[in-house]
A = this chain, B = another copy of it.
Amino acid sequence: MKYCSHCGSDAVTFAIPEGDDRPRHLCGGCGAIHYINPRVIVGVLPYLGDKVLLCKRAIEPRLGLWTLPAGFMENGETSEEGALRESWEEARANIRVDGLYSVYDIPHINQVYLMYRGELADTGFGPGPESLEVELFTEAEIPWEEIAFPIMQETLEHYFEDRKKNSYPLHRGVIQRKL
């Protein structure tokens, strides 16, 4: 942040406000404190029979790699509504949500993932503007070496393990920066 979004001043510093314990963007002009907080990514693991729906990314990062439909949660929606919106936008998929399935923290990029699990309501899926291809894969068919993000890889691994037991507890995890 170079300029204060309240008053337009360029006297913005990054320092610890009085009574706080960590640096914030502080405006020397109007005194505003600008907080920056983690963002929520919402998505779905869509399944049909023994297959899972994946999207091949048409955008950076990880263009050309495969992922579950997910994206930034928007103001004014619930996390489930956001997950269904992303499934439609990226995969034109209509989902019947079973429940929240995985909650992951990725602290080095300030993100929290809320992934739902849900059955495809029909097979009328297809790529939205952010996807090159959308396909159903069995566990053996999944391009495991071409999964875009570790959170998606772990969620998929949990799913195929849980499927053998027919029990789908909530999975919680933390993805740490690779050293």
A73 near B8: Cβ-Cβ < 8 Å: no
Instruction: Give A4 Cβ to nearest chain B Cβ, in Å.
Output: 7
Give chain B nearest CB distance to A52 CB in angstroms. Answer: 22
Question: Main SS of chain A's interface residues?
Answer: loop
- Taking the closest CB of chain B, its distance from the CB of A175, in whole angstroms, is 10
Report the minimal beta-carbon distance from A25 to chain B, rounded to whole angstroms. 8
- A10 at interface (Cβ–Cβ under 8 A)? yes
A100 surroundings in chain B (CB, below 8 A) = 103, 170, 172
Interface size class of A (residues with CB under 8 A): 35 or more
Assess whether A72 is in contact with B10, with CB atoms less than 8 Å apart.
no
- Tell me which of A105-113, A117-125, A153-161 binds B: A105-113
The yes or no answer to A79 lying at the interface (CB within 8 A) is yes
- Sample of 9 more A-B contacts, CB < 8 Å, known A8-B10, A78-B105, A79-B112: A1-B5, A2-B6, A19-B129, A37-B73, A40-B112, A78-B174, A81-B107, A100-B103, A112-B112
- Contacts A/B (CB < 8 Å), 9 sampled: A2-B8, A3-B5, A19-B129, A22-B74, A35-B72, A36-B75, A37-B73, A81-B107, A170-B170
